[in-house]
Chain A
Amino acid sequence: MAVSQERISVHSLADLKNTTDDALPTYLNSLGFKQSHTLTDTRLALGYSAFAICSATFYWDYKFGFENTKQYTTIAVIIYTILNSILTFWIWGVEKGTVYIGTSKTTGEKIQIQSKTEKHVPKYCLTVTTTDKNGRKKRKIVKKEFKDWFDAKGHFHTKPFQRMLAGSVDAIGRADPKNAVKEGEKEKVVVEDKRSMDEKWASLLAESAGVEENGASTATPSKGGKKRGKKA
C-alpha cells in the first residue's frame, strides 16, 4: 500500500487540504482522465500581466522620476486595478476552489472537482460536478474526514483516499472499479493496524481491565492515541 514518505502536521488544516488537493490530479490522471488547465492558466495569465505592468511602472518611475511619468503611472494604476479585480473575480466567482477539471478519455465524461474546508473542522468538502456526453450535469457534495487517509503521524495513504473518491463519485468509480467499494464496507479496510507490539499489548491489557474500545481504534496513551480514539 502506498504511503507517502513525507509527513505533514496533522494539526494544520491547510497542510491536510493542500496535500490532498495535490494528490487528486495525480490519481485522476492515472485513471485516464485528461486534465484541463484552462482555469489555472487564465489565472496565471491575469496575475502575471498585472505583475508585468507593475514592473514596468517601477522601472520608469525609477528611471525617469515621478513628475515625468505621471500620466503613464495613472494609466498603469487603473489597468492594474482592473486586472486585479478580474483576477479576484476569477478566483472567487469562477474557480471557487477548483482543484481538478478533466475529461475521461473512455467515456467522454467531464468532471470538475472543487474542494474546501471549513475553519476548525477536519473534513474535506468536495463539490463534484460531472457532465456526461449529452451535457447533462450532475452535482454531488462529498464530505469526508481527513483521518480516513492520513494517519496520526501525518503520512498520506493513497489507497483509502482513492477508495474514498472511487466509492463516492460514480464517474471515478466507473474508471476505477477496483477501488469503487461502497460506503459501509470501506471503513474496515481503511484503518490499518500500525501499532507496535508494545502498543497492542497495552491495548489488550486495557481491554482486560474493562476499558471499552470501539471498532479499530485504540485506547493507548501513545501520541497517536488521541487522534485514533476519536474514530468511531
Chain B
Amino acid sequence: MLSTLQNPRQAAAQLLNFGLILSTAFMMWKGLSVLADSPSPIVVVLSGSMEPAFQRGDLLFLWNRNFFEETKVGEIVVYNVKGKDIPIVHRLVRKFGVGDDAKLLTKGDNNVADDTELYARGQDYIERKDIIGSVVAYIPFVGYVTILLSEHPWLKTVMLGIMGLVVVLQRE
C-alpha cells in the first residue's frame, strides 16, 4: 500500500485529502466564528458554577451580535477577564447604563457571591466588549471529551496519531 506513495501525484493527492479534512474543519469553525461574531462560538463548561443550568462538559453555542436588542439582565454570557485565558460562563445579574459603556455585573447561579472576586485586580464590573457571546443553545455532556483531553494530554497525541494513520492508510 505504501508503494503507492512513489507516484508523486498520488502522494500529493493523498496528502491533500488529509490536509482538506483538517482545513475544512478549521474553516467551518472560523465560518461559525465570523457568523456569530465571536472568537470562540462553541465553548465547553468547565466548572459547576452554573448548576443546575449547566453541568461540567456541556457544550454551549454562543451568539455575539445584538441585532434587535442589547444584551440584557438574565442572559447567560461568556466573558473574558484581562490576564486570564479561560473564559467564564455566568449569568448577567446587573446592568447600569446603556450601550457599549454599560457597566455589567455577572454571577454564577451556583455561587454564593457575585463575580467581583473573579474580575481582574481593581476591576468592579465588565463591559460589553469583554463578552464573547450569549448562550443560545447547548448540548449536554458531549463536551466532556475535551475536558478529558485537556486533563490527560497524552490522549491528544494518541488520537492524532490514530487519525493520521487511518487517513494515510485508507484510500476510499
Separation of A37 and B12 alpha carbons in the complex (Å): 13
The answer to whether residues A47 and B34 also contact, given A6-B3, A66-B39 and a CB cut-off of 8 A, is: no
A 128-156 contacts with B by CB, 8 A: none
Q: Does more than half of chain A's interface fall in helix, strand or loop, or is it mixed?
A: helix
Interface size class of A (residues with CB under 8 A): 20 to 34
The answer to whether residues A50 and B9 also contact, given A70-B34, A73-B33 and a CB cut-off of 8 A, is: no
Stretch at the interface among B24-32, B113-121, B138-146: B24-32
Separation of A61 and B140 alpha carbons in the complex (Å): 29
Whole-angstrom distance between the Cβ of B61 and the nearest chain A Cβ: 17
Q: Answer yes or no: B157 CB below 8 A from chain A CBs.
A: no
How many A-B pairs have beta carbons closer than 8 Å: the answer is 64
Separation of A84 and B25 alpha carbons in the complex (Å): 12
Interface size class of B (residues with CB under 8 A): 20 to 34
Separation of A15 and B4 alpha carbons in the complex (Å): 12
A 171-201 contacts with B by CB, 8 A: none
Q: Answer yes or no: A80 CB below 8 A from chain B CBs.
A: yes
Q: Answer yes or no: A127 CB below 8 A from chain B CBs.
A: no
Whole-angstrom distance between the Cβ of B124 and the nearest chain A Cβ: 24
Stretch at the interface among B15-23, B65-73, B93-101: B15-23
Whole-angstrom distance between the Cβ of B91 and the nearest chain A Cβ: 24
Q: Answer yes or no: B171 CB below 8 A from chain A CBs.
A: yes
Whole-angstrom distance between the Cβ of B83 and the nearest chain A Cβ: 16
Q: Answer yes or no: B172 CB below 8 A from chain A CBs.
A: yes
- Encode A60-91 as 1/0 by CB contact (under 8 A) with B: 01000111001001101100110010000000
Q: Answer yes or no: A3 CB below 8 A from chain B CBs.
A: no
- Encode B25-48 as 1/0 by CB contact (under 8 A) with A: 011001101100101000000000
Whether the pair B30, A73 counts as a contact (CB closer than 8 A) is: yes
Whole-angstrom distance between the Cβ of A123 and the nearest chain B Cβ: 17
Q: Answer yes or no: B166 CB below 8 A from chain A CBs.
A: no
Whether the pair B4, A50 counts as a contact (CB closer than 8 A) is: no
Between A and B, 17 residue pairs with Cβ closer than 8 Å are A6-B3, A14-B171, A14-B172, A22-B7, A40-B9, A40-B13, A44-B9, A48-B16, A54-B26, A55-B23, A67-B39, A70-B34, A73-B30, A73-B33, A77-B31, A80-B23, A81-B27
Which B positions have Cβ atoms within 8 angstroms of A?
1, 3-4, 7, 9-10, 12-13, 16, 19-20, 23-24, 26-27, 30-31, 33-34, 37, 39, 170-172
